[in-house]
Amino acid sequence: MRPARDYASTRFSPLDQITPQNVRQLAVKSTFSTGVLHGHEAAPIVVHNTMYIVTPWPNYVYALDLSKDGAPVKWKYEPKPLSAAQGVACCDVVNRGVVYADGAIFLNTLDNRTIALDATSGKEKWVTKLGDVNKGETITMAPLVVKDKVLVGNSGGELGVRGWLTALDSRTGTIAWRAYSTGPDKDVLIGPRFKPFYASDRGGDLGIHTWPADAWRNGGGTVWGWISYDPQLNLVYYGTSNPGPWNHEQRPGDNKWTAGVFARDADTGEAVWFYQMSPHDLWDYDGVNEPVLADLAIGGRTRKVMMRADRNGYVYVIDRTNGEVLSADPFVPITSTKGIDLKSGRPIENEELEPALGKVMRNVCPASPGGKDWQPTAYSTHTGLYYIPSNNLCMDYEGVEANYIAGTPFVGANVRMYAGPGGNRGEFIAWDPVARKKVWSIKENFPVWSGVAVTVSDVAFYGTMDGWFKAVNAKTGEELWKSKVGSGIVGQPVTYKGPDGKQYVAILAGVGGWSGAIVAGGLDPRDATAALGFVNAMPDLPQATTSGGMLYIFGLP
């Protein structure tokens, strides 16, 4: 139904046919070439014996009939997005998935349209244009449908875009409300219900006053990540991106409401609370990572929490009723900050590393893609563990002058990244959110840029950028099975019950995204700053994999 499986974004499946004992028998049951190169970050979704997949630009949508041998195409939809949109997509022309609700498939295109398709026929029901590529806006995120609203956010935090979350009527496509991430309270939908936990988030029009004059208009805070929903509290949760430009000297202040997480009323969009992980972000630590909702026994009582493995390198456990941070612990090596002060909720910055114009700060960890980027985590209520696909990257960073020119990058930093301590660029981590510690982990050569799916039978699936699709024991971390696919994996694994009653696992291979830009864009590693510095950490990726989108469906004999 949706990439995260449930509204709590657990990516935890109750299916149990595939077990640690029989997972070695998994074999390819079907494959399908998407006909598109570039990074395939989307999750396939399965509804009524049909699998729906969306490709990177040009955002083809395929409906595959799982009830027939070989899963033939039922229909294909081509939204024909503007070619020019490719030039304003910061980190490859990706799309993170479609969503199903009430007989319709909802799709976001790179050129800022949200489209509803009839799930049976693939015919357009409505199309709504939400943004403008000439201002640098794109849409890459997967929408979420809550009751009668489709929630969509924009991308473009590297292009001086002003971020927003928009709710559309799922039947007609008309805009119900839009909540900006910067600017006056009326634009941010901050009103009498807004009760942030920490004092620094209280006050009038902070979305203006925590910026130099008018800087909020190009201040980022885009909403390109994941949205979760708690039906009991009727709140939606999502994070906002880095402020723009990256060069922090051009935007003194806390830069509300960027690099933080909002809780909003699901019907009206009114803000209920906000917590800023990275006030006055220095390092491109977007706050867009998925809020994973769970009820945990903490301090002798059950707390309704949100877990977030943030770009800044900390796993946060936050009370989702009010935005209080219960704990924040590092899951990757961190030099940029010295911890989170739980009294104020603010990170303790490492002042020695504070970037300045023309000065090179060295060994800043985590690097800009963070301890974890968009690639979603999973939470198993069976093991009680939180599974984090992570990056182990550090960087050298030099602040340079950023000029705002609409539709072009607004960054102001020279960055070169490299492997963090240990030399492994990624790690698949099982984290205990109650005991606040790593339980086990698997070191990976490349950043783990794929999502995770975990089952009640304690099998966790993820993929690597050199094209291995892996199953591991969710309790112990023992590698149980792996299969080599045609291209590196930056997608999201899913598991589902097929029309024959059997459990299957599916993944889109197709390397790309920010981490895979060196392959997807044919970039040149002789320039350490290519792809905002990521290429410097990945010069060997072109030897390890080639591009090409391909769906793989695995099953037991």
Partner 1 sequence: MTGFWRTTTCLALMSELSLFAAGCQREVRPFQELAVASARTQNQSPFQKNAYGTAEGKRLFDQYNCSGCHAHGGGGMGPALMDDKWIYGSEPANIFESIVEGRPNGMPAWRNKIPDQQVWELVAYVQSMIGQESIDVLPSRSDHMRYSTPENARRAQTPVQTHTP
Q: Site residues (CB under 8 A) for partner 1?
A: 83-91, 158, 358, 360, 396, 398, 400-401, 403, 405, 407-411, 414, 416, 517, 521-532, 535
Measured CA to CA, the distance from residue 99 to residue 113 in angstroms comes to 15
Closer residue to partner 1 in complex, CB, 407/433: 407
**Minimal distance, residue 336 CB to partner 1, in Å:** 17
Q: What length does the chain have?
A: 557
From residue 328, alpha-carbon distances to 11, 154, 185, 354 in Å are 22, 28, 29, 22
CB atoms within 10 A of CB 408: 14
Closer residue to partner 1 in complex, CB, 133/306: 133
The helix/strand/coil state of 103 is coil
- Based on the residue annotation, tell me whether 242 is a catalytic residue of this protein: yes
The helix/strand/coil state of 106 is strand
The helix/strand/coil state of 206 is helix
Judge whether 249 and 230 are in contact, CB under 8 Å: no
Closer residue to partner 1 in complex, CB, 280/416: 416
Closer residue to partner 1 in complex, CB, 167/532: 532
- Based on the residue annotation, tell me whether 444 is a catalytic residue of this protein: no
Catalytic residue among 108, 242, 247, 255: 242
Closer residue to partner 1 in complex, CB, 359/484: 359
* Tokens describing residue 430: 């099982």
Catalytic residue among 158, 201, 281, 286: 158
**Minimal distance, residue 522 CB to partner 1, in Å:** 4
Closer residue to partner 1 in complex, CB, 408/424: 408
**Minimal distance, residue 140 CB to partner 1, in Å:** 13
Query: Using H for helix, E for strand and C for coil, what is the string for 108-177?
Result: ECCCCEEEEEECCCCCEEEEEECCCHHHCCECCCCCEEECCEEEEECECCCCCCECEEEEEECCCCCEEE
Residue 229, judged by CB atoms within 10 A of its CB (0-12, 13-18, 19+), counts as buried
**Minimal distance, residue 55 CB to partner 1, in Å:** 16
Measured CA to CA, the distance from residue 37 to residue 444 in angstroms comes to 24
Question: Phi and psi for 111 in degrees, rounded to 5?
Answer: -95, 30
Catalytic residue among 41, 254, 281, 284: 284
- Label residue 421 left, alpha or beta by phi (over 0 means left) and psi (-120 to 50 means alpha): beta
Closer residue to partner 1 in complex, CB, 296/530: 530
**Minimal distance, residue 90 CB to partner 1, in Å:** 6
- Radius of gyration in angstroms for the set of CA atoms belonging to the chain, rounded to a whole number: 21
* Tokens describing residue 316: 């946060």
In 3D space, the residue among 254, 56, 72, 309 whose CA is nearest the CA of residue 64 turns out to be 72
**Minimal distance, residue 144 CB to partner 1, in Å:** 27
CA dihedral 553, 378, 151, 42 (to 10 degrees): -30
In 3D space, the residue among 281, 196, 199 whose CA is nearest the CA of residue 240 turns out to be 281
**Minimal distance, residue 2 CB to partner 1, in Å:** 29
Closer residue to partner 1 in complex, CB, 397/428: 397
Measured CA to CA, the distance from residue 103 to residue 232 in angstroms comes to 25
- Based on the residue annotation, tell me whether 363 is a catalytic residue of this protein: no
**Minimal distance, residue 134 CB to partner 1, in Å:** 8
In 3D space, the residue among 415, 292, 239 whose CA is nearest the CA of residue 12 turns out to be 292
Name the residues annotated as catalytic.
Answer: 158, 242, 284
